[in-house]
Amino acid sequence: MSRLHKRRSGRTERATLENRRFSGKKPSAASRHGWTDPWSLVRGPLIVVLAVLLAGGSLRAGDWVQLGCNAARTSYTPDEPKGPYKVAWVFDGVWPDDRLLATVQVVTWKRKGFVGSKRGTMYAFSLTDGKGLWKYRTGRAILQTAAVADGLVVFGSMDGCVYAVGAEDGKLAWKTDLKARGITNAPLVYEGRIYIGTRGGLFACLNATDGSVIWKKSFESPIFQSPAAGDGKVFFSPEDMYMRCLDAATGKLLWRAERRMTIATLRGTHPVYHKGLLFTGNGSKYNSYKYRGGHAPAVKMPADMPPTDRKNTHMIDAKDFYPSYAKWLKDYDEDLRKRGASNALLIFDAKTGRQLPGLPMAGHQSMACPLQAPAVTADGLVVYPQRYADWSSHVGLFDPFSRELKAILVHQYYTNDDETQNFSVGGNTVFTVHTWEGHPGTMLAFDLTRKKRFELPEAYPRIMGEWKAAPPSNAASICGNLLFHVGGHRVAAWKGTSE
């Protein structure tokens, strides 16, 4: 067993003991040191959500219909499976004759799930028991997440075509040949239209009903990043690494970012839109070169930061954990300015394209791979990794407007720089998928209301090589009381066992 595996094993055993202590009646260490109840961060916005639901508004609990759940790609849904969790079922109708790419998310519609394969087949299965319902074969591989629009499952294929098949029966409704060199984009469903980019640099807007081309625009670089949308605009970056904003109705270029992202590729990524801000992961060189037996951020961490293995600090107030945060933020910005290094998570003004000061964090992927996309909670906090000066990588909840770190969700695993965490939010629970060394995904749930952390049981085998991608996994998707994730060339579903 390698030293890393020994450290992980020991860390997991300690975390198991900590979970037992955490569930006891005695107050946690975090409570004794000035806990701010995480529920207070989200109580008001969730009341607003419930009011909208009761009033019959458009925001509703329901299906995860596209990558990131919605057009803004925030990976948030009001549905909240509550832990503890158990494996509900595993859809294994693909393996061993076919393969699933770990970057693909399950999308859902009316108690059905859909996922595309490396050999070009779109599979449908029941969310009740995981049994296969139908499959539709295309000419080439399906390498990204599908979307559901008005009862049609829409997806791109490496044969350069966009397909729409009936969600109920799998019959072809329409097919549009974009004459592209393959498609690795997840289609975006927004205001009755489909937006998708191609490896040949073509970005197209299609009618969701019949697949007819409404407008298209060509770029000189391949488009690997899946688009996001909000306020009548569509956002994405081709492989020239300049973020763009197009008018969703006409395709007119509204702005191009002034600064190029310092990254090798955006394959498998997507931006996130939230309240006039646009977020995208960046290949940070900020902390990628200081190694001292582990990983150390380039900025000196505050001396008052407590050890990351402090017992019972599963969810804690950032001010208690990080009292000199304001000073460190100032030093961070000054260091970035002097050295010209890039932020790990880029923030743009979605109206003008102006790049805003980024969030101070240390998590990234090595070898210039892109960072995973953030998730956004009901009250607008950004969920993103927070790495410290050891192998530990935790989860930070940031206010993107004040740039204040609100809370730390303490992870129990050590991570390398070529390992990732991916996030989704169901109600008031944050779900993380940690992919590492052939493991298709270790999953944790942080229930902010009950102040508990749950580890989801393993559901599929470990297959080496599956994690060698960028990013090597995707966030879990959520529907009702179920949570879904692709790993080991299978689809697993977990069920929350608490009401």
Strand 188-190 to strand 233-236: parallel, antiparallel, or no bridges (unpaired)?
A: unpaired
Other C-beta atoms lying within 10 Å of the C-beta of residue 105: 27
Are 18 and 26 within 8 A, CB to CB? no
Burial class (CB in 10 A: 0-12, 13-18, 19+), 431: buried
Other C-beta atoms lying within 10 Å of the C-beta of residue 218: 11
pTM, full prediction: 0.81
Predicted pLDDT of residue 124: 97
Inter-CA distances, 199 with 11, 88, 369, 402, 413, Å:
42, 37, 18, 38, 36
Mean pLDDT by 10 residues, the chain (499 residues): 40 34 32 35 42 35 91 97 95 87 92 95 96 94 96 97 97 95 94 96 97 96 95 96 96 94 82 95 47 34 44 52 59 61 77 84 46 86 71 75 79 57 92 70 85 85 51 83 91 91
How many CA within 13 A on the CB side of residue 140?
15
Are 409 and 394 within 8 A, CB to CB? yes
- Residue 179 backbone zone (phi > 0: left; psi -120 to 50: alpha; other: beta): left
Euclidean distance between CA atoms 319 and 435, whole angstroms:
29
Predicted pLDDT of residue 337: 61
